[in-house]
Amino acid sequence: MTKEKMQPKVQTIWWEESPEPTICMLDQSLLPHQVVYLRHTHEQQVADAIKALKVRGAPVIGITAAFGIALAFSRLFRVQAESLSTTDIQKHLVTVCELFCHTRPTAVNLFAAVEHMQHCAKTVLREQGSLQYLAQKLYHEAQSMADEDFDACLKMGAYGVDLIADGDILLTHCNAGTLATVGWGTGLAPIYAAHRAGKRIHIFVDETRPVLQGARLTAWELQQEGIPLTLITDNMAGHFMRHGGIKAVFVGADRITCNGDVANKIGTYSLAVLAHAHHIPFYVVAPRSTIDLSLPSGEHIPIEQRDPREVTFIHDQHIAPVGVKAANPAFDVTPHMYVSAIITDMGIARPPYSTTLHSLYKANKSVKM
């Protein structure tokens, strides 16, 4: 099948050049009831959209930040092309990179993307490239990161599909699908590949409190693609592992450390322990941009603490006593001992991850995606 034919029905984010450089994105906070596309022409709007979960999911957060940085320089070129010194441009670079680094702390994709864009910009400035050239270069870098993500999703799907048999019932958590990437997702990539290959599968989808990415997003996108699913509340997972015939769990990741510890949406850890207790394979699917070899273990991963209102409210409805204290860590860390395999765009790593993740990198070092 050609790349064009492999496009998912849902497009998460893209760039439009005219009438002025614009980042278009699906507002995920309104799904599934409203399908609204936002058009942002200022980097601050893009950073705010990341914070407010209008665009979310580790890979696409990184790509959005990259496009946001490109937008910041396209905008600068349009409004002030003549009057800026290299020092002014360098200051703008620092400000814009900081803006994106302060949006969400857990997904390493964001920091890798910002670092990459910063590096490109510094190279252009060192070589005394014009502001116009810098803006174009940054746009092309962001677009090629998006293209790489698309390809990575296909590769993760191709590696993971063999872990799924015809007739399997699978479980997933949060949203690790097309909405979290510019392609076919991470945790859902093998599921989409299995579906395309004609395997009859059924997906149990955790609703994923507090923000309901499972109920609102995963259920919606699987439905768009015609994949049969059953939505469950998070606390039903153990019951269905015991009685529902679940054959494997597939999730994404926000950051994976050297030893194979995995940060992902809150509740992933409990699922992994449950899967272990029921002898059900627990698969983590993530592109190389989610692997952080600079951290030895999951204890070092910064966990985003979000507004407790996400717990005490569902939409605008207050569901707890007024004034009650609520905790809201957005992610947890699953220790590597509960992870059966990590499916990446470079291949599949199995324990011991401290060796196998490095080996995958080594084997793929010269391979540009």
Task: Establish if 58 lies at the interface with ligand MRU (CB under 6 A).
Answer: yes
**Residue whose C-alpha is closest to residue 246's, from 169, 183, 341, 353:** 169
Task: Establish if 112 lies at the interface with ligand MRU (CB under 6 A).
Answer: no
- Alpha carbon 56 to its chain centroid, in Å, reads 6
Which 238-257 positions form the footprint of ligand MRU (CB under 6 A)?
252-254
Are the C-beta atoms of 301 and 258 separated by less than 8 Å? no
Among 59, 62, 68, 298, binds ligand MRU (CB under 6 A): 59
Torsion of CA 185, 188, 110, 297, to 10 degrees: -150
Give the HSE-up count for residue 203: Cα atoms under 13 Å, Cβ half-sphere.
Answer: 33
Task: Establish if 174 lies at the interface with ligand MRU (CB under 6 A).
Answer: yes
Strands 202-206 and 255-257: unpaired
Q: How far is the CB of 104 from ligand MRU (least distance, A)?
A: 7
Q: What mask, x for binding ligand MRU by CB under 6 A, covers residues 2 to 41?
A: ----------------------------------------
Q: Is 149 marked active-site? A: no
Task: Establish if 360 lies at the interface with ligand MRU (CB under 6 A).
Answer: no
Stretch that binds ligand MRU, among 10-18, 53-61, 91-99, 120-128 (CB under 6 A): 53-61
Nearest-angstrom CA–CA distance, 228 and 205 = 10
Give the CB-nearest residue to ligand MRU.
252
Are the C-beta atoms of 156 and 191 separated by less than 8 Å? no
Task: Establish if 56 lies at the interface with ligand MRU (CB under 6 A).
Answer: yes
DSSP state of 216: I
Nearest-angstrom CA–CA distance, 188 and 194 = 10
Task: Establish if 311 lies at the interface with ligand MRU (CB under 6 A).
Answer: no
**Residue whose C-alpha is closest to residue 295's, from 242, 245, 333, 250:** 333
Which is nearer to ligand MRU, 77 or 283 (by Cβ)?
A: 283
Q: How far is the CB of 30 from ligand MRU (least distance, A)?
A: 14
Which is nearer to ligand MRU, 141 or 254 (by Cβ)?
A: 254
DSSP state of 108: H
For the residues of 68-96, what is the DSSP string, one character each?
HHHHHHHHHHHHHTTT--HHHHHHHHHHH
Are the C-beta atoms of 260 and 355 separated by less than 8 Å? no
User: Total number of residues binding ligand MRU (CB under 6 A)?
Assistant: 18
Task: Establish if 186 lies at the interface with ligand MRU (CB under 6 A).
Answer: yes
Residue of 149, 254, 292, 332 with catalytic role: 254
Nearest-angstrom CA–CA distance, 300 and 293 = 12
**Residue whose C-alpha is closest to residue 73's, from 56, 54, 101, 97:** 97
Which is nearer to ligand MRU, 167 or 329 (by Cβ)?
A: 329
Q: How far is the CB of 304 from ligand MRU (least distance, A)?
A: 8
Task: Establish if 289 lies at the interface with ligand MRU (CB under 6 A).
Answer: no
Task: Establish if 330 lies at the interface with ligand MRU (CB under 6 A).
Answer: yes
Which 198-217 positions form the footprint of ligand MRU (CB under 6 A)?
213
Stretch that binds ligand MRU, among 10-18, 51-59, 235-243, 361-369 (CB under 6 A): 51-59
What letter represents residue 263's amino acid? A
Q: Please, what sign has the CA dihedral across residues 231, 237, 240, 241?
A: positive
Among 265, 269, 341, 346, binds ligand MRU (CB under 6 A): 265
Positions touching ligand MRU (CB under 6 A) are 53, 56-59, 107, 174, 176, 180-181, 186, 213, 252-254, 264-265, 330
Q: Which residues are catalytic?
A: 254
